[in-house]
Amino acid sequence: MECQECQERQATVHFTQVINGEKMEVHLCQQCAKEKGYVSQDDDPYSLHHLLSGLFHQKANTLSHSSQQAHSYQELVCDKCGMTYPQFLKIGKFGCAHCYDTFSEHLDPLFRKVHSGNTTHEGKVPKRTGSDIHHRKQLRHLKLSLQQAIAAEAFEEAARLRDQIKAMEKRTEEQEEGDKQ
């Protein structure tokens, strides 16, 4: 199998990526995989932390070269725990849950590297406090399936999904009405 990226060399790195809920198979040669940051540069497959610190240092270096951007990085401070963005880059750990919001715009590339292309949670939702989230996720999934059904001209399936979505939305509205009273 040839590499998807350069379409020259033999693909030796194979994995599945999930982006926005869609699964994609990825086949790359060692070199392209390295360039895209999917495998660590030092060929030590055990050490995720190396990969992380590599990434951080890289960023820190490019920072010092472009002063404009560096400025905005420096100013990012988590107002809950006091962690600054440069500190976060240096130690590679968050100080508190709010850091995730504070540094949010810079996190996608980092998560992509660490979690083979993924940036969004796909798994469990807290049972007690997460029922709204659970509901919204379900609704989003249904809507996505509806689009796919329509695109595939599976109209019976689409009609069934549309009814399901309507029913769910109606239930939510009624609940919200109920909450107001």
Partner 1 sequence: MSLEHFMSEAVSPWLKEDGPDSDIVMSSRIRLARNFSAYPFPLIAGDEQMEHILHIMLNIFDQRSFADYKKLEFVKMSDLKAIEKQVLVEKHLISPHLADKSDYGAVLISENEQVSIMINEEDHIRAQLYFPGFQLGGALEQAFQLDDWLEEKVDYAFDEDRGYLTCCPTNVGTGLRASVMMHLPALAITRKINRLIPAINQLGLAVRGIYGEGSEALGNIFQISNQITLGRSEEDIIEDLKGVVEQLIEHERQARRVLVEQSPLELENRLFRSLGVLQHSRIIESKETAKCLSDVRLAIDLGFINNISKSILNELVVLTQPAFLQQYAKRRLSPNERDVFRASVIRERLNMEQKEEL
Q: How far is the CB of 56 from Zn ion (least distance, A)?
A: 17
Q: Residue 123 binds which entry of partner 1, Zn ion, none, with Cβ cut-offs from 5 to 8 Å by kind? A: partner 1
Is residue 164 within 8 Å of residue 145, measured between CB atoms? no
Q: Across the strands, what pairs with 16?
A: 25
Residue 13 CB, shortest distance to partner 1, in Å, is 6
Number of Cβ within 10 Å of residue 146's Cβ equals 18
Taking CB within 5 to 8 Å according to partner kind, which of partner 1, Zn ion, none is near residue 5? Answer: Zn ion
Using the contact rule CB under 5 A, the part of the chain among 8-16, 51-59, 64-72, 145-153 near Zn ion is 8-16
d(CA 111, CA 153): 36
Answer whether 146's CB lies under 8 Å from 165's CB: yes
178 interacts with partner 1 by CB under 8 A = no
Q: Return the half-sphere exposure (C-beta side, CA atoms, 13 A cut-off) of residue 47.
A: 12
Q: Which amino acid is at 106?
A: H
Q: Which of the ranges 61-69, 77-85, 151-159, 167-175 carries the binding residues for partner 1, by CB under 8 A? A: 77-85
Nearer to partner 1, 139 or 154 (CB): 139
Find the binder of Zn ion among 96, 133, 159, 167 (CB under 5 A).
96
Site for partner 1 in 25-64 (CB under 8 A): 39, 45-46, 48-49, 52
| 34 binds Zn ion, rule: CB under 5 A | no
Distances (CA, A) of 104 to 42, 56, 73, 77, 96: 28, 15, 12, 12, 13
Contact 77, 83 (CB under 8 A): yes
Where on the chain is the footprint of partner 1 (CB under 8 A)? 12-15, 17-19, 39, 45-46, 48-49, 52, 80-83, 91-97, 100, 107, 110-111, 114-130, 133, 136-137
